[in-house]
């Protein structure tokens, strides 16, 4: 059987297969061997399948994280985001090692802003002075949050690798007006691990929409951060645990991925004591 792997940079997970003579189409998708990984999380530990998991890293781009970016240029202290950038890099490395897809989800608006609604534009230009999305008001001089610009590129400390996926977004949520949902369904994943910035805004909005679409969600609390007051991050973590899914630390995710086993292995039993810092 051929799965048409040569047609895409990633091994296609959602393709029909064909007999060698080409006369029969087999609607079975390529096999994804099930694996199991026990993840220490809150409000409870979870067992997930790395073969059906993806890591989504939100908005780790220059305009939000770099000292010459747009956010720093309007007086925001972006240094508070640095630990989350470093931990996101660790989470990404662990995901790649475990053959878990990595998706970089960044603002990358059309230069003509043809699909940008006024409410979203207002968030970044509240006085209507033209200094928001698409302007060159950032210290870098690059057009703010615009596709293919320096401000939309990944910030120092994280980097893409062959096989990673990139999705431009145009709202706080990465699901509206983007191919994110289609990509995830073609990856045949059902569990999403979130990291990035800002935790109380774009990370949270995307996570909530993912839950509403039926995905299982896990937030990396230490690989997510915000320039908002600290209570905004705390409230987000509370709401994720209370209403939407689970939270964990980068170290616990890495431990779980490193010890992932085939489904035939017996999962551990019994309760787990959780750390308050998660």
Catalytic amino acids? 59, 169, 202
194-209 burial, b if ≥16 CB within 10 A, otherwise e?
bbbbbbbbbbbbbbbb
CB 149 within 8 A of CB 136: no
What is the C-alpha separation between 177 and 107, in angstroms, rounded? 12
What is the β-pairing status of strands 216-225 and 246-248?
parallel
């Amino acid at each position: 059987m051929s799965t048409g792997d040569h047609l895409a940079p990633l091994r296609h997970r959602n393709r029909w297969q064909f007999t060698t003579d080409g006369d029969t189409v087999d609607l079975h998708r390529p096999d994804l061997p099930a694996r199991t990984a026990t993840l220490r999380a809150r409000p409870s530990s979870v067992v997930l399948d790395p073969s059906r998991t993806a890591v989504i890293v939100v908005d780790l781009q220059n305009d939000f994280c770099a000292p010459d970016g747009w956010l720093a240029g309007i007086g925001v202290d972006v240094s508070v985001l640095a630990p989350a950038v470093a931990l996101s890099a660790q989470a990404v490395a662990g995901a790649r090692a475990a053959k878990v897809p990595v998706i970089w989800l960044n603002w990358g608006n059309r230069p003509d802003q043809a699909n940008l609604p006024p409410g979203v534009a207002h968030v970044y230009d509240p006085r209507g002075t033209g200094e928001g999305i698409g302007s060159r008001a950032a210290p870098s001089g690059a057009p703010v949050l615009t596709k293919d610009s320096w401000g939309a590129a990944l910030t120092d400390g994280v980097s893409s690798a062959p096989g990673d996926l990139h999705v431009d977004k145009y709202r706080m949520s990465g699901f509206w007006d983007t191919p994110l949902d289609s990509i995830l369904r073609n990856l045949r994943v059902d569990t999403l691990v979130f990291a990035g910035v800002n935790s109380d805004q774009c990370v949270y909005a995307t996570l909530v929409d993912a839950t509403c679409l039926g995905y299982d969600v896990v937030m990396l609390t230490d690989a997510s951060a915000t320039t908002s007051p600290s209570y905004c991050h705390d409230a987000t973590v509370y709401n994720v645990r209370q209403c939407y899914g689970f939270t964990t630390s980068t170290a616990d995710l890495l431990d779980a991925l490193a010890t992932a086993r085939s489904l035939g292995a017996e999962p551990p039993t019994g309760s787990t004591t959780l750390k308050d810092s998660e």
